[in-house]
Structure 1
Amino acid sequence: MDTPSYRERLNRVLRYIENHLDDSPDLEALSAVACFSPYHFHRIFSAMVGESVAAYVRRLRLERAAMQLSLSDVTITQVALAAGYDSLDAFSRAFRAQFKVLPSAYRRNDGPLEQARRYSIGQPLFYHLAPDVPPIDVQIRSFAPMWVATLRYTGPYDDCYPAWETLMAAMQTQGLLTVDTFACAVSHDNPDITPVDKCRMEVCLSLPPGMTANTLAVRNLLQDKRIYLRVIGSNSDYAVIEVNGPYSLLHPAYRSLYWQWLPQSGREPDDDPGFEVYYNSPQSTEPQDLRTGIFIPLLMG
């Protein structure tokens, strides 16, 4: 069942759900996005994704709710309504079933933001999360939009390299991989909240200048239905961290950005996901010499 055509069609559905997370999951509409019959769609979705449409949407909403509890002062009732629950009691039961703790306790004691705040009293949070790394330096920059070839990966972020290999091999076959190819990735989930085997990532490689979806080499690339094009970046502001060292430092850097810098900055993150830019390759660079940029979109101030 796991054919390239099915993967491409399911990827369309996953992107659609992520972009319409506040809408009620309509099997008719989703099956139309996937070009499957409604009768077969939910079975195909469950078989390939590992959970039903309803469970997938419920999990993403609850994970978003956990982030809101950690990163904002929105009331729990407002968070519950935003997650699609008509009552605080129903939301609390669902939240506890997923996270093993009530929303109020998660915010008060168990949420990662509160843990970070407790541990950061008196000195920068970053030292507690990664004592051998200096505090983060955040810059505000724009990032010109660019087209990238993209492959979706689901699983532990540390195990994503086969997805990169697949995308690089496909690009190289079509003569699209050059010394100027730009590598980046969109990480959709927070491993503090989402089970690591369900974390979603899009691995991306830039197209050569002047290449479009109508270029023959790009059309040939897209014959592999796992691969699609998307735009990375915009001319809006981004909070940017340059991380020098092994990739194990990235997660602490995210934590420091979201739980220390943002609350003090007077800025708010935009709804669009951020992305990481990889300035060198772990295949040819020692871990201590790796350079990575973290770009988080900001609402216009």
Structure 2
Amino acid sequence: MRENTRIDWHARVEQALARVFASLDEPLAWQTLAGELHASPWHFHRCFRQLTGETVKQCLRRLRLERAAFQAAHGEARITDIALEAGFETLEAFLKAFRRAHGISPGGVRKLGAWAGTIAAPSNLHYAPGEPRKHFFIADKGDAHMDVKITTLSPLKLVCYRNFGEYWNLPGTWQKLFELMASQGVAMPAPTGMTVFHDHFDEVPMPDKRSDAAVYVPQDIELVEGLFRYETPGGLYAVKPHFGSCEEIGTTWDKWREEWLPTSGWQLDKTRPSLEWYQGHFDFAPPELHVTLLCDAVCRA
């Protein structure tokens, strides 16, 4: 696509996205959008997907599921009503789609309360009630161009607090780590923080998975009960930067493991942990600018 044509279509897709955001409560076909933009349906469909990384149908479905998560977390509406509002004919279909998208049930989201509920999207556009719609970022050039680097990481000495089982329990694990570290007089958040996944593999049942909320603390401190020291083994890692909220990380990680890793010439080294390495203090930037390095231990295939 030529640059001037790309800019013209970027403006058209901006209009289409504004219509999509305004149509979460009504049926909307991509053919209708194409007609409103005076474009051929086929050409509109191709350009919308090329620039946003999603089809109109996928975008609508994702935004409705994000809204459903917000309603489950922050409202008192019945889950059945939320399902119908999201465009699902049956509660069973909604629950299945919700869990596939978010990794948790609507009831689980309601118990968590403070939960963003965004789903990873190349455009970085998400359901955000009360906030003006942001301009979208043009999607990257496809999975073959995934920005993955193979690099050697040095060992890091960390102080950790462990979580067993569901990863959705990790926010509480981090909160407990902060409380215990604060009781030791260590200022939080620490400059270097990461989640260490010891069993981030499909063959390990979820109840048996171990994950640690971990921080690098330069000075020696006496550890209270519940905290322990751990040194990452270092070595070769495949590192993928993720831009967006923590809730979107799982989808990004699954995507590049499924689409980049099989053709990369590398394989997972399951003797070493995976790392979710947070860059900077998230409180000082909007979610779309949060940067996390997803690090998988690898060896030659």
Relative to its length, the structure with more helix (as a share) is 1
Point out the structure with max Rg over C-alpha: 2
